[in-house]
Structure 1
Amino acid sequence: MASNESYLDKKVISIGTVCELTGLSERRIRYYEERKLIFPERTNRGIRKYSFSDVERLMDIANKREEGIQTAEIRKEYIKQKKYNERTMREKVIRGQLNAYFHTRE
């Protein structure tokens, strides 16, 4: 596990437990995986493992589907959010580097 990875992102939960937590069927969860809305890890034996973040995302997906939003639209929204988060993180890193540079020159 990467040192900056949160426990929320560690893939340790079985699909059966995810079903219990979310109320979604295994079939529905696998469908969302096929639609590239969630990305479980696979063990050497092919068993899917999910994170707490995946569980939260599945609940978000289920709520959006109940509102009538199509999976393609949900995926577009997630991609847009990921790009925004990456851009924001890059900007924070650059600001930090600039601050460090100018503070060491004083």
Structure 2
Amino acid sequence: MPGYETADWDQLKVDMKRRWGTVSPERRYRLSSITELFTKTQQEGGMRNMTQYKKFIGEYEAIITYLKRYQYIQGDINHNQEILAGLSTSVQESIYKEMIKGRAMVQA
């Protein structure tokens, strides 16, 4: 592309639009966005109610969908442990108790 060869950004944008129809969208999320979301949630004391959980899951799914769409990740990603860690301590304890009752987890 002539704009690339001459290091002319304005020409390169024109060349890219001509070749691909539009300039690539600005990257909205990075791989580190997942970790940043978990860290932010934990720093805020974790998810303490259903509203906070739904907000978290909405953000998480938006990041995963974006990363898959633009092929930054492939296949299924399992972040169950990280999501559990993002819950408040009292909610985690309740989940552990229910898992032990339901025999989905062995008590240590």
If the length of structure 1 is used for normalisation, what is the TM-score?
A: 0.27
**Structure of larger gyration radius:** 2
Which structure carries more strand by proportion?
Answer: 1
Q: Give me the TM-score of the superposition, normalised by structure 2.
A: 0.27
